[in-house]
Structure formats: structure tokens, C-alpha cells
Structure 1
Amino acid sequence: MSSIVCTIEIARPPGEVFAYATDPSRFAEWQRDVVSVRNAGDGPNGAYGKGSRFTTVRRIGGSERTMTQEITEVTPSRSWAAHGVDGPIRPNAGVSVEPVDDGAGSRATFTFDFEGEGIGVLLLPLVRKMTAKGAPASLRNLKALLESGD
């Protein structure tokens, strides 16, 4: 199956959009299904760099699920990726940010894919459907938060 791809334009510079959108400690502020996130690795001062791991609790289908991801790519202000390392559903997420309006704004593209382990294989179609429906709302939240300046 192909990845789920969502793009949104945000009237903030790429560095700001990238820093906020790729900081796992901020995910619960704009992602509808995130309950909490904690650093699962040993990054300095809670930093989330390449190789760092974070554990996310998400509300999925009325229950809470915990999953750990490892950051596999960080190109500051441009691209970021993380790969699921445990659980029956293992998300792979990517973010790319490019300047628009001579750098006054940004176009952020989010890519989502999933791998299933055990029972997770059977759940993949449901998870993909929920992501395709929920991601655009989360990105609208991201845009509203960043453009409000809060």
C-alpha cells in the first residue's frame, strides 16, 4: 500500500514550523490522538536527535496504545523521520518542510506508513483509515497553533 501523505501551508518560517512539528514533546498539543509523549532514550537534556527514542501514548479506537519510535533522520529545518520499534502497529512518519513566500511561510508535508506485527497485520487497514481521516484535522490544529503565535 502507498503511504498517506498530507500537506499544509503555514504562515510561519520553515525553522519555526520544523522545530515545533518535529518535537515529540509538543505532539499532544496538536495531534488529536496523542495523550502523552516521553523521552525513551538518553538524549542530552531531553533532546530529540537522530537515534533518540520516544514513547507515545495514543488514543486509538477508544483505548490507549503505547508505542516507541526511533528518530531515523534529522536535517534541521528540512526533514525528519521516525520509525516504530515495538508493538503490533509500528508507525513510520516523515516530515519535510520547504519555504514558500520567500521564506515567510512554509509548506509542510507529512508522510505516514505502518507495519504490522502479529495481530497488528489485521489492524493495519483500520489504522490507515483512521490516520487518513485524523491527520488532516491534526495538521489544521498545527497550523492554527503556529499562526496564532501562542
Structure 2
Amino acid sequence: MAHITRSIEIDTSPEEIFDYITDLDRLTEWATIVKETRDLGDRPIQQGTTFSQTVKAAGSVEIDCDWHVRQLERPRHVHYEATAPDGGEMQMSQTVTRLDDGRSKVEIALDYEVPGGILGQIADKLIFEGQNEKEADTSLENLKRILEDGV
């Protein structure tokens, strides 16, 4: 299973950040891999909430995923698990930590397994992992820009 961890500091309170990142209707504003979120019943999300998404892997491959909120500790931590019809699995945690002077640290941890056995693992190492790291960095930069500058 591949593992990616990325973080960024944002000049905003943990509460504001957490409310924004767990508002799944707004994910496409900042999360570059998310194309669409569907079938979302609970707002705001709660532990046990389920929803579906179309995400873009490696910049262009669209994958439909079914997600489940496994843990939710407002305004600090949320953990999601997903499955894709072709056998892929993904887990994502988002953790927000209060820092000094009203700043916060946002950390995203992503674990995923691409389908296809050994060939899928090779493709992940050669293609997907680097692209997914770039997407995570860009998403966090988008989040920072939106929350600090309102853009």
C-alpha cells in the first residue's frame, strides 16, 4: 500500500479549517483530485456518513469511489475509507492542529492500493505516486490560499 503524508500551516483557526475541509460540497474548490461528490446525505458529515465521489488519478484517469467516514473528532481529525469497483482501496486522514498566533497545521495522510497486483504496484511507483504527491501539495496550497485570502 502506498503512503503519502503532506502538511501546511495556515493562518486560520482549526475550527474554520475543519468546517471547510469537511464540507464535502466544497471539495472541488480546493482538492484537485476530486471531480464530483454525490449521494451525500448528512450535512455536516458525521461518523458513519457515506458518499460517492469521482476522483482523478494521475491527472486524468477517473475513478468512482464509495467513501465512509470512520472517525470524526471535530475540529481536529477525520478519517475516511474508500473502495473502488475495480478493487482499489484508499484511506485518508485529515488532522488540524492549533499552533501559536491563531495559525493551524493541516496534515493529510493518504494510503492507497491500486488494483492490478504487481503490475499495479509498478505503475504506482513509476507514475501515480509522484503525481499523487504533487496533487496533495497543490490541494493544500489551494486550501491555504482560499482560507487566508478568500480567493
- Normalised by the size of structure 1, how large is the TM-score? 0.85
Would the aligned equivalents of 2:64 and 2:84 in 1 still touch at CA under 8 Å?
Answer: no
Would the aligned equivalents of 2:63 and 2:84 in 1 still touch at CA under 8 Å?
Answer: no
CA distance in 1 between counterparts of 2:105 and 2:13 reads 10
Cα deviation, 1:38-86, whole Å, max 9, x if unaligned, reads: 135x43xx44211111211122242322111101010001110000133
CA distance in 2 between counterparts of 1:94 and 1:83 reads 9
The aligned residue for residue 110 of structure 2 is 112
Distance 1:2 1:67, change over 3 A: closer
Count of residues in Structure 1 that have an aligned counterpart in Structure 2: 145
The aligned residue for residue 3 of structure 2 is 3
Q: Aligned partner of 1:109: which letter?
A: E
Distance 1:121 1:58, change over 3 A: farther
Cα deviation, 1:77-136, whole Å, max 9, x if unaligned, reads: 11100001333322110011111124x11101110001344x276434243332112110
The aligned residue for residue 17 of structure 1 is 17
Q: Post-superposition, which runs of at least 4 consecutive aligned residues in structure 1 deviate over 6 A?
A: none
- Normalised by the size of structure 2, how large is the TM-score? 0.84
CA distance in 2 between counterparts of 1:127 and 1:36 reads 20
CA distance in 2 between counterparts of 1:130 and 1:28 reads 18
- Report percent identity of matched pairs: 26
Is there any run of 5+ residues in structure 1 with no aligned partner, and where?
none
Would the aligned equivalents of 1:115 and 1:121 in 2 still touch at CA under 8 Å?
Answer: no
Distance 1:66 1:15, change over 3 A: same
CA distance in 1 between counterparts of 2:117 and 2:12 reads 37
CA distance in 2 between counterparts of 1:120 and 1:56 reads 24
